[in-house]
Structure 1
Amino acid sequence: MKQILIVTLVLFICACNDTSPEQVDRKDGFTPLLKTTEDSLYHDVMEGHDIGMAKMSTLRGNLKRVQRELDSVQKLPVQKIDSPYMRALLDLQEELNYADHAMFTWMGEFKVDSASSNKDKRIKYLESEKAKVEKVRDNILNSLQRADSLFKSAGR
């Protein structure tokens, strides 16, 4: 019985002695330590994506609101329709739809592990994707800002 206890104690002590390095190479965009250019670029790409995606429910809500406004305006008699407002709603609807479509198109085309075996190609790919996702993010944020401005100026 003593031998089993000693063996168990030795195994326990060995198991607690973790000699693996604390720093491991990063394989994703979420580890806080950015060691390489690839890490930083991937992090920037994911940050652009996350900012855009965080606004998608607001964007969709604005699309529904625009559609409700258009439906209301179209029920009015022709002489009472505010043409500039209707044109602004149609333009906004197009802008919001474009921003929505752009995000999901970008996500469908983005390849997380693209050129992972070739550092130079990977950096070029991530630089390209960073520029694309920044454009998508800006489209989303700008269309939401435009929606806010339009609805405030219309008093709605």
Structure 2
Amino acid sequence: MSRFIIALVTIGLFVGACNDASQGEPATHKNGYAPVLKTREDSLFHEVMKGHDAGMAKVGKLRKNIAETTHQLDSLGKLPVKKIDAAYKEALVNLQTNLKKADDEMDNWMQQFKLDSLADNKELRVKYLEGEKEKVAAVKEHIFSALQQADSLLKR
């Protein structure tokens, strides 16, 4: 009997959790969460998080390309000097530097971003979020640019 009650309660909780989506609002995320953007602060925070999510979605590929450039440079280092394409090697070094910088920028931005910064002062929080929106957009664009550069060079 107690197993039946536990199963019934578990099913009830599961169904309740599944039906707890925002009423009448479209889901904008894969997990069904639809943010309620009532204020400028809410909208800015949402934009900052979208920039973060877009950049973070590419960090795995970014790090894979860093490893690939390292591998390519190691392989070139084993060749006799006469057989090394100096321009290609320089392009790989520049690419690796650019990829690492983009990765570091995302890490630094995430460490410096304060989720609840100035929560008690809406006007200053809006200014803070406007600045963070610009910063994360620049980081995201650097990531995308470095990946585009990697796609061009590593497909050689």
* TM superposition score normalised by structure 1: 0.78
Q: How far has the Cα of 1:31 moved from its partner?
A: 4.3
Q: Does 1:103 align with 2:106?
A: yes
Deviation readout 1:87-106 (Å, 9 max, x if unpaired)? 00000000000000000100
Amino acid at match of 1:120: E
Deviation at 1:33, TM superposition (A): 2.2
Give the aligned partner of residue 132 of structure 1.
135
Amino acid in the other structure paired with 1:134 = A
**Letter in structure 1 aligned against 2:110:** M
* Paired positions, count: 126
Tell me which of 87, 90, 104 is aligned to 2:90. Answer: 87
Which residue in the other structure is 2:49 paired with? 46
The residue that corresponds to 2:72 in the other structure is: 69
- Mapped to 2, the partners of 1:149 and 1:119 lie a distance apart of 44
Counterpart residue identity of residue 144, structure 1 = L
Letter in structure 2 aligned against 1:99: A
- Determine what percentage of the aligned residue pairs are the same residue: 53
Deviation above 4 Å: which 4+ runs of structure 1?
none
Report the structure number with the largest CA radius of gyration: 1
- Mapped to 1, the partners of 2:115 and 2:122 lie a distance apart of 14
Aligned counterparts of 2:76 and 2:85: Cα–Cα separation in 1: 8
Q: Provide Cα deviations, 1:26-49, integer angstroms capped at 9, x if missing partner.
A: xxxx64221110010000000000
Q: Provide the rounded CA distance (Å) in 2 between the counterparts of 1:91 and 1:31.
A: 41
Please state if 1:122 is matched with 2:125: yes
Question: What is the identity, as a one-letter code, of the residue corresponding to 1:118?
Answer: N
CA distance in 1, matches of 2:111, 2:36: 27
Aligned mates of 1:55, 1:45 — CA distance in 2: 16
Secondary structure of the equivalent of 1:32? coil
- Residue 17 of structure 1 is matched in structure 2 by none
Once the two structures are TM-superposed, the CA of residue 151 in structure 1 deviates from its matched residue by 1.5
Alignment of 1:18-57 (within 5 A): 31-57=34-60
Cα distance in 1 for partners of 2:74, 2:80 equals: 12
Q: SS in structure 1 opposite 2:35?
A: coil
Work out the CA distance in 1 between the residues paired with 2:45 and 2:36: 12
